[in-house]
Each structure stands twice: as C-alpha cells, then as structure tokens.
Amino acid sequence: MSNYTYGTNAYDEIPEVAKPYGIKKVVFIGGKRALAAAEPKARKALEGSGIEVTGSFVYGVDSTQTNIDRLVATPEVKEADAVFGFGGGKALDTAKMVADELDKVIFSFPTICSNCAAGTAIAVIYHDDGSFDRYGFPKAAKHLFIDTDVIAKAPVEYFWAGIGDALSKQPEVTHVSKGEDLTNTGALGVAISKTVSEPLFKYGEQGMDDVKNDTPSKAVEEIALDILVSTGYASNLTNQKDFYYNSWHAHAFYNSTTAIKREGTYLHGQIVSFGVLVLFAYFHEEEEFKKYQEFNKRIGLPVTLGELGLSQDDVEEITKGAMETNEYRNRPFDPEKFSEAIRCADELGKQLLEE
C-alpha cells in the first residue's frame, strides 16, 4: 500500500521520503503535459538533496508493451535507482511497469486525477492500435506526491473523467464481492470501497468549477484524495492472488469498447461512467440507476451510447468483447442480460435527455 503526501507544497517532502530508500539517482517518466507542469517543481525540491536526475522521458501516448520495452532499454532508465512517474493513468501505468521490470522503486506524481492508477498495483496495457490488451500487475508506488495546485491547474476534463471512473468503485466491488466469505484483506477493501461514491456526489460539481478556475480548493482536495487514495486502496485490497473483486460490468464495458473503431476520443472514466449505469440496469436496481444517471447528466458524463460514439448496433460486439475480459474470470456472465442492460441504459438515457 502506498503512503502519500498531499497539498500545494507536497513535493517539498520528496528528499525526506526518498532518504530511507538510499536513492542517489532517479529518472522521470511521464506524459508531455505532465512533465511540463510538474518537472520544474520536482527538480527544485531535489536541489541540494544529493539526488541526481539521470533523464526525463515522455512515455508515449498509450501504455503499450512497445513503450514499456523502449523505456526499459533506455540507459538513463537503467542507471537510475528509482522511477518518478508523472501524469495520469496511462503514463503512470507505463512507469509502474517499467519500474517493475527493472526491479526499481517507483514514486508517483499524479498531475491529474483521471483515475486511481497512481497508487494501484495494477496496470492497463493496450495494443499498439489502442485496443485493450491485458492487465499487468506491477508493484504499487512506494509513495504518492499529490500536489493539489498542479491538479487544479490541469484541464478540467481529466478531473471530470476521474469522477466518472471513481463512480464505478463502490458498485462494482460491492456487487462482485456479494455473498463471498471475505478475508480480512478483502473485507477491508470492500469497506473502503463503500466510502468512495459519497464524496463524488458531495464535492464533484464544486470541484469541477474550482478546477476551471485553477483553484486548489477543499473540494478539489477531497475529490483528488477520494480518487487517488480511497479508490486506489480499495483497488489494491480487492485485487489479490486468491480473489479479484476490483471491477466488474462497468470496466468490462469499457475494455470491450476500446476495440470498436469510431469517430472521437473518449476518456477512460467517461466510458466507465456509462458502464456503471449498465451495471445497475443489469441488476434492475432502479433507485441507484436513477441516482447515478442524474448525477452523470448534471456534470456532463454520458447517459447514452451516442455520447460515446456508439449505438445499439454495437451492442452485440460490445457483449462479445466483454465476455473475454478479466472481469468475469470468477463470476458467471449472462451475455443476453448484459446486452439488454446496455440497451436499457441507453433508452433510459435518451428519455432523460428529452425531459
């Protein structure tokens, strides 16, 4: 489990946190925008610490094995004692996989909170064409440095998508673990997952307004911690060798849609948020469906397939892809019911938009 430091001066703690690990050399890996936003602050924090930066590298565009292999073979990466990963999900997943393959310590510097990747021991790996490949299981970062000023000044769409992704944690974990004889670890993960949704409903809209105004407010801080820490902890505790309660219908929906070629670009959490509605439709949970659907509408998350560049003509292909995902390795899956849930969520969304 990762420790964490948060606030507008979080990076000031880097030397003290790194000291016990005997780190003398670090390499920066991240997204282009992320490095531009955070690298100067990180370098300043390292001044006089005796820690050398061997190099700074943009990871690529997707967390692919091609990008991982390229970085693993880079001399400056090999030379470093630790990896500092900067960015959002794909950048941090790449950095985690690189560190894991080279058996190096990794520290995470989330510059956006588009998902919980900064602190998780799981990575989403894509094919070079952008379609979902597999999950990787690297070691989690030793420490998260959550600079809320950097996060508040990032594009609001990533904050928005992070809310969408985090909306899945509580319903997915509670449903997939239902009826299980939970171990202490599993029970703790489930308990933490049950704390995730409420802060999103409470602070989500205000947090988005504050990010639009580059303001590192309490709402921004609460959402960032909910996504990066609470959701991350729940993910790690429910993703174990002996059991997997970390995700279900919402992420199966997302994973499958990555293989469907269509116009537009859609963020992970944006798609997952509609998958949450599919989950509630699958289980005929009308009250929860309506609560999450109305919240989606209020903050601009999708309530229809059309908002994701999809249509009901894609449902069979989505269902076929979902059957092949990791989400169903421990659970029965009714493809007809899943297809019907997608269509139902879409139809109810169309009705909501017409009101």
Q: Extract the annotated binding site for NAD(+).
A: 89-93, 111-114, 120, 126
Q: Which helix (H) or strand (E) holds 84?
A: strand 82-87
Residue list, annotated binding site for glycerol:
165, 251, 268
Q: Can you say how many angstroms the Cα of residue 102 is from the centroid of all Cα atoms in its chain?
A: 23
Q: Please answer whether residues 54 and 104 qualify as being in contact, where contact means their C-beta atoms are separated by less than 8 angstroms.
A: no
Sign of CA dihedral 74, 75, 80, 81: positive
Task: Cite the annotated binding site by residue number.
Answer: 89-93, 111-114, 120, 126, 165, 251, 268
| Per-residue buried b or exposed e for 12-35, using 16+ beta carbons within 10 Å of the residue's own CB | eebbebbeeeebeebbbbbbebbb
DSSP tally for the chain: helices H, then strands E = 17, 8
From residue 48, alpha-carbon distances to 10, 43, 66, 167 in Å are 17, 10, 36, 42
Q: What whole-number distance in Å separates Cα of residue 316 and Cα of residue 329? A: 20
Tokens of 31: 């997204």
Q: Which two tokens stand for residue 249?
A: 């219908």
Rounded Cα distance between 113 and 97, Å, is: 19
- Residue 191 makes CB contacts below 8 A (sequence gap 6+) with none
At 186, phi and psi to the nearest 5? -65, -40
